[in-house]
Amino acid sequence: MALKIPKIGLSQLLKDGYKIQQGLDEAVYRNISACRELTNIVRTSYGPNGRNKMVINHLEKLFVTSDAATIMRELEVIHPAAKMIVGASQQQEQEVGDATNLVVVLAGELLAQAEFLLRMGLHPSEVIEGYEIAAKKALEFLNELVIDTITDVTSSAALLSPITTALSSKQNGLESLLAPIVVSAALEVMPKSPANFNTDSIRVVKILGGGVHDTSVVKGMVFGREPEGTVTRAEKAKVAVFVSSLDQQSTETKGTVLIRNAEEMLGFSKGEEKQLETAINEIAASGAKVVVTGSGVGDLALHFLNRAGLMVVKVLSKFDLRRLCRVVGATALARLGRPSAEELGYCDIVETVEIGSDRCTVFRQEEEKTKTATIVVRGGTQNMLDDIERAIDDGVNVVKALAKDGRLVAGAGATEIELARRLAAFGDKTPGLAQYSIKKFAEALEVVPRTLAENAGMDSTVVISKLYAAHTQGQTTVGVKIDEENALVDAKAAKIVDSHLAKFWAIKLATHAATTVLSVDQIIMSKPAGGPKAKQNKNWDEDDE
């Protein structure tokens, strides 16, 4: 049989069902439009006056937040170009942990400005080249705009300003309350080498009730459940941690035991009891006062533990179990038996306390420096607690960024407007077509102060013109004052400062995401696998009325 050669044409080269989009109209402009739709969602959430989004995910869990990282994570974006923007914000979250919204907003604005250039007749490669030159120059200018450097990360006074700025963009009005709490928790767990600061060392426990003003820091760990047995407090206690359940051990293979009379029945059960009692007596003999298990506790085991005077705490999360091992210096054991002296941990106070209407177990180190601190957050609603937790997480990540790089730049949009002014001047001196892209890159940076002004209900055009006038006169740290109509503020004097590292990565990642989207000139999609979706009948098991 002779081989059939298909007709010439891209659609004939591929299997049936392939979709092909190419050229500026079908590929580039469509991609830009999709990315702008996505960035418009989070743009109104930027800054202290940013509005919340109500997101209900596929599990019907409700999120009411202005945190871009959470919004991006919960929105199931399927457009491939928009996914690149989501990927850039996720990378910012991993790298710095803050300024994710800035990445999304800046990338969207860069694409909007690029669309104007493309419609004017520039080739995508020329726009990309100009953007890359502008980004490189912007990062050089950013180094010149550093207004302060934190040399001692263990100083609470030095950390307070950048953390307050980060928290005010998430919880405006509560930053003066939450910032000292975050600083206090960070300094409790700060290692000898600040560069090794681990954000996982600060935990957040949310307990409904009370008010945000009741939020506090505990040196150690707090678990939202009370002990299993009758013992509720232990001081200067050795701690034994077990991954396995505290119960009668089952055999690996199944077996059959033939019991003929009551005496044999009693003898069989007594043997199991004796074995369990021996194991618990060995734990008590090792000097342990507190037993922590990562699984269940049997009734018989609980009886013997109470008789031995041991405090029993159940921690069901394996991650929390690892953290607890780090706090008390214990080794998690997989077998039930006598732990060695090296495997035991130590804790100054293990006690049950009542926070609101919840009884919690607290592992607290009084004397030595703890490896984990817990922020106990109080509030009236679960959504409020979740949002405060996200704000605290951003504050902790600012500490991590400052431990790596202590340089600070002016906030309130002052840094972006100064970068825009300098890049515009640089673009005027650049020969060739690249100058148009550099100038549009500078215009894109104006999106930060413009968005801050718009979200505060101001006239953004008036604010931008006032900012340019002030910066041209040499006032390079002047930014947007959101609580007064069309007013400006000296960010350096007002201590509104941002991490240099966060701005650095935001500009870098936003530019990379925008240039990647612009470099696509053809989209080839294969036919999705599988047949048509089955019809859903949710009420199949209900009787017809």
- Residue 54 pairs with which residues in a beta bridge? 64
244 and 339 share a domain?
yes
Residue 366 gets which letter from DSSP?
A: S
Instruction: Summarize pLDDT for 340-355 with one digit per residue, the tens.
Output: 888 888 888 888 888 7
27 and 111 share a domain?
yes
37 and 93 share a domain?
yes
Is 80 exceeded by the pLDDT of residue 265? Answer: no
Residue 17 confidence (pLDDT): 62
Residue 250 gets which letter from DSSP?
A: P
Residue 15 confidence (pLDDT): 66
Mean pLDDT of 295-315: 81
Q: Which domain holds residue 352?
A: 218-379
- With respect to residue 370, please indicate whether it lies within any of the assigned structural domains: yes
When pLDDT is cut at 50, 70 and 90, the band that residue 361 belongs to is confident
374 and 295 share a domain?
yes
Angle formed at CA 79 by CA 75 and CA 81, multiple of 5 degrees: 110
CATH number at residue 358: 3.50.7.10
Is 80 exceeded by the pLDDT of residue 258? Answer: no
- With respect to residue 144, please indicate whether it lies within any of the assigned structural domains: yes
Mean of pLDDT over the chain: 82
Residue 4 confidence (pLDDT): 62
Mean pLDDT of 278-286: 81
Phi, psi at 234, each rounded to 5°: -145, 135
When pLDDT is cut at 50, 70 and 90, the band that residue 534 belongs to is low
223 and 369 share a domain?
yes
Lowest mean pLDDT among 99-113, 149-163, 238-252: 238-252
Tokens of 263: 């005496």
Is 80 exceeded by the pLDDT of residue 528? Answer: no
Three-state secondary structure call for residue 242: strand
Residue 284 confidence (pLDDT): 82
Residue 106 confidence (pLDDT): 92
Share of the chain above pLDDT 90, in %: 6
Residue 512 confidence (pLDDT): 92
Tokens of 392: 């605290």
Dihedral of CA atoms 46, 50, 54, 55 in degrees, nearest 10, equals 10
Q: Which of 190-194, 247-251, 386-390, 486-490 has the highest mean pLDDT?
A: 386-390
353 and 460 share a domain?
no
Share of the chain above pLDDT 70, in %: 88
Residue 538 confidence (pLDDT): 60
Is 80 exceeded by the pLDDT of residue 269? Answer: no
Three-state secondary structure call for residue 541: coil
24 and 135 share a domain?
yes
CATH number at residue 87: 1.10.560.10
355 and 416 share a domain?
no
224 and 367 share a domain?
yes
Mean pLDDT of 427-436: 86
Angle formed at CA 64 by CA 59 and CA 68, multiple of 5 degrees: 95
**Cα separation, 97 vs 69, whole angstroms:** 9
Residue 542 confidence (pLDDT): 61
Residue 367 confidence (pLDDT): 66
327-332 long-range contacts, CB within 8 A, separation 24+: 327/220, 327/221, 327/363, 327/365, 327/370, 327/371, 327/372, 328/239, 328/241, 328/363, 330/239, 330/240, 330/241, 330/292, 331/241, 332/241, 332/242, 332/243, 332/294
Give the total residue count for the chain: 545
- With respect to residue 404, please indicate whether it lies within any of the assigned structural domains: no
Tokens of 123: 């080739």
Residue 286's identity, in one-letter code, is: S
Tokens of 59: 């599990």
Residue 237 confidence (pLDDT): 82
Residue 110 confidence (pLDDT): 92
Instruction: Summarize pLDDT for 458-471 with one digit per residue, the tens.
Output: 888 888 898 889 88
**Cα separation, 75 vs 86, whole angstroms:** 10
Residue 510 confidence (pLDDT): 92
241 and 363 share a domain?
yes
Tell me the DSSP string of 76-97: ----HHHHHHHHHHHHHHHHTS
- With respect to residue 533, please indicate whether it lies within any of the assigned structural domains: no
Is 90 exceeded by the pLDDT of residue 511? Answer: yes
- Please state the domain count of the chain: 2
Q: Which of 229, 361, 243, 251 is nearest to 302 (CA)?
A: 229
421 and 366 share a domain?
no
Is 90 exceeded by the pLDDT of residue 149? Answer: no
- With respect to residue 447, please indicate whether it lies within any of the assigned structural domains: yes
Angle formed at CA 118 by CA 114 and CA 119, multiple of 5 degrees: 120
Instruction: Summarize pLDDT for 205-214 with one digit per residue, the tens.
Output: 888 887 888 8
Query: What is the separation of C-alpha 455 from the centre of its chain, rounded to a whole number of angstroms?
Result: 24
- With respect to residue 385, please indicate whether it lies within any of the assigned structural domains: no
Between residues 108 and 151, which one has the greater pLDDT?
108
127 and 230 share a domain?
no
Residue 453's identity, in one-letter code, is: A
Residue 121 confidence (pLDDT): 85
- With respect to residue 156, please indicate whether it lies within any of the assigned structural domains: no
Q: Are strands 62-65 and 311-314 parallel, antiparallel or unpaired?
A: unpaired
Global confidence as pTM: 0.82
Three-state secondary structure call for residue 17: coil
Q: Confirm if 415 and 492 have CB atoms less than 8 A apart.
A: no
Instruction: Summarize pLDDT for 12-40 with one digit per residue, the tens.
Output: 666 666 666 666 666 788 888 888 888 88
- With respect to residue 481, please indicate whether it lies within any of the assigned structural domains: yes
Lowest mean pLDDT among 330-339, 375-384, 435-444: 330-339
